[in-house]
């Protein structure tokens, strides 16, 4: 299948799943259709239906390719062992907490990985039909148009830093030693929105603590292919089969270097 045919097939699938499994539940979820998975983490019937339909559709697009879905991995952690092989990675609804509260942003994220690296990624906004695509070695695209990452132009740079999964001591260090050097903004609690913000000039920097593959494989590739920089704090590339914490995204490599240097100097 050509790249063009692949992207058309995936886009059609994303639209279909959005229409059948996501939007019909938006702002219509009953209390019993929202299930707590962990502290500050929920799943809905829409997530589960979306993953089921996406898995069925992706199997038709690329028969035999392993599938690693967020909800499938939650039910059976052994699924994570497939990440080192050629596989699809699915986040059926990214930003589920927002979705469950009946507010944007939320999205669907897909990635195709091989050898531990994302080879292609899709970040889809069901409310606007915006589709961000990344192809390793071939660039980043928004609604079919190739795009180069833009910085906000703000002084100091705009940073969206997630503290959600940070230990209290680490959070205090970030707020004391890092935050004063940037214009801090609220995180959207949705990687499908945060990564486009880094490329489209809304934000300059992001720091993520938890780096699960369904949240970050596509977005990391999208930023890098657009000419920004996304990498582990030590500069190593993000791998979908690496469960380390920590990831920095930036609209420009020099902004990435500056923030990475500051993080490296944190006490302890």
Taking residues 157-167, what's their average pLDDT?
86
Answer whether residue 259 shows pLDDT above 90: yes
211, 163, 171, 254: CA torsion to nearest 10: 70
Contact 58, 13 (CB under 8 A): yes
Taking residues 27-48, what's their average pLDDT?
91
Q: How confident is the model at residue 16 (pLDDT cuts 50, 70, 90)?
A: very high
pLDDT for 97 equals 95
CATH 3.40.190.80 fits 158-264, yes or no: yes
What gap in Å lies between CA 255 and CA 159, rounded to an integer?
Answer: 10
pLDDT for 195 equals 98
- The pLDDT tens digits for 96-114 are 999 999 999 999 999 999 9
Taking residues 72-89, what's their average pLDDT?
96
Domain boundaries, the chain: 3-147, 158-264
Q: Can you spell out the DSSP letters for 121-173?
A: EEEEETTTTEEEEEETTTEEEETTEEE--B----SSPEEEE--TTS-HHHHHH
Closest among 131, 129, 126 to 143, alpha carbons compared? 131
Taking residues 238-266, what's their average pLDDT?
96
Answer whether residue 268 shows pLDDT above 80: no
Q: How confident is the model at residue 38 (pLDDT cuts 50, 70, 90)?
A: confident
pLDDT for 230 equals 98
Mean pLDDT of the chain: 95
Answer whether residue 4 shows pLDDT above 90: no
Answer whether residue 165 shows pLDDT above 80: no
Taking residues 137-158, what's their average pLDDT?
97
- pTM (predicted TM-score): 0.96
3-147 matches 158-264 in fold: no
- The pLDDT tens digits for 180-234 are 999 999 999 999 999 999 999 999 999 999 999 999 999 999 999 999 999 999 9
Closest among 234, 256, 253 to 245, alpha carbons compared? 234
pLDDT for 1 equals 75
CATH of domain 3-147: 3.30.540.10
| Range 163-191 burial, b when 16+ CB lie within 10 A, else e | beebeeeeeebbeeebeeebbbbebbbbb
């Amino acid at each position: 299948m050509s790249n063009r045919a692949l992207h058309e097939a995936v886009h059609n699938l994303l639209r279909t799943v959005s229409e059948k499994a996501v939007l019909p539940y938006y702002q219509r979820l009953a209390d019993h259709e929202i299930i707590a998975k962990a502290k500050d983490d929920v799943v809905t019937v829409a997530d589960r239906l979306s993953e089921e339909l996406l898995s069925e559709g992706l199997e038709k697009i690329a028969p035999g390719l392993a599938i690693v879905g967020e909800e499938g991995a939650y039910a059976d952690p052994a699924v994570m062992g497939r990440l080192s092989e050629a596989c699809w990675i699915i986040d059926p609804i990214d930003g589920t907490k927002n979705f469950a509260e009946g507010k944007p942003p939320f999205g669907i994220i897909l990635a195709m990985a091989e050898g531990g690296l994302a080879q292609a990624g899709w970040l889809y906004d069901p409310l606007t039909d915006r589709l961000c695509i990344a192809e390793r070695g071939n660039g980043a695209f928004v609604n079919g148009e190739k795009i180069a990452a833009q910085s906000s132009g703000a002084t100091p740079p705009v940073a969206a830093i997630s503290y959600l999964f940070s230990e209290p001591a680490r959070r205090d260090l970030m707020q004391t030693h890092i935050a004063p050097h940037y214009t801090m903004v609220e995180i959207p609690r949705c990687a499908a929105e945060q990564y486009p913000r880094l490329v489209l000039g809304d934000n300059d920097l992001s720091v993520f603590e938890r780096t699960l593959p369904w949240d970050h494989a596509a977005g990391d590739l999208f930023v890098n292919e657009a000419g920004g920089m996304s990498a582990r704090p030590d500069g190593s590339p993000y791998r979908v089969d690496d469960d380390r914490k920590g990831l920095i995204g930036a609209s420009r490599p020099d902004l990435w270097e500056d923030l990475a240097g500051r993080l490296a100097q944190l006490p302890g």
